[in-house]
């Protein structure tokens, strides 16, 4: 059960990382 709970957490973090990377590449860091 712990692993099942950990997986979504990792997925969420990976998604956040990907979104942040995409946003950083799409728009300049100045906007942030």
pLDDT of 10 reads: 67
Query: What is the value of pTM for the model shown?
Result: 0.42
User: Residue written as tokens 């946003």?
Assistant: 23
pLDDT of 19 reads: 77
> What sections of 1-32 are H helices per DSSP?
2-26
Q: How far is CA 23 from CA 4, 8, 13, in A?
A: 29, 22, 15
- Give 5's contacts (C-beta < 8 A, 6+ positions apart): none
pLDDT of 5 reads: 63
pLDDT of 21 reads: 76
Over the stretch 1-32, which tens digit does the pLDDT of each residue have?
Answer: 566 666 667 678 888 887 787 776 666 655 55
pLDDT of 4 reads: 61
């Amino acid at each position: 059960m712990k692993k099942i709970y950990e997986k979504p957490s990792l997925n969420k973090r990976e998604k956040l990382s990907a979104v942040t990377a995409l946003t950083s590449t799409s728009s300049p860091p100045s906007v942030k």
